[in-house]
Amino acid sequence: MSGKNLQDYWKTNIRYVLMLLVVWFLVSYGAGILWEDALNNIRLGGFKLGFWFAQQGSIYVFVILIFVYVYLMNKLDEEYDVNEN
């Protein structure tokens, strides 16, 4: 693969990673910690929302994030023809 292509591939990868890490940060440090008090005024059935994010929601989102990453990267690998056979 040429140098230019490799740079593009790497830049896109970094963009994906940063995007996903922003979500990672928002659900745990944001919803679960920084805004926990405020979100606790909203209810999700028997849960206060901030508490739910801290003890349940953030973990579900973590799982989803990894699978989104896998999907994006597999597509990207194919696009730039750097996937394994």
Residue 13 found at the interface with another protein (CB under 8 A): yes
Nearest distance, CB of residue 40 and another protein, angstroms: 7
Provide CB contacts within 8 A for 57, sequence distance 6+.
Answer: 27, 31, 32
Q: What are phi and psi of 14, to 5 degrees?
A: -60, -40
Between 39 and 78, how does the x/- string for binding to another protein read (CB under 8 A)? -x---xxxxx--xx-xxx-xxx-xx-xxx-xx--xx--x-
Name 52's bridge partners. Answer: none
Q: What is the rounded distance in angstroms from the CA atom of residue 67 to the CA atom of residue 71?
A: 6
| By CB under 8 A, residue 22 contacts another protein | no
Q: How far is the CB of 29 from another protein (least distance, A)?
A: 6
Pairing of strands 47-48, 43-44: antiparallel
38 binds another protein (CB under 8 A): no
Residues near another protein (CB under 8 A), total? 45
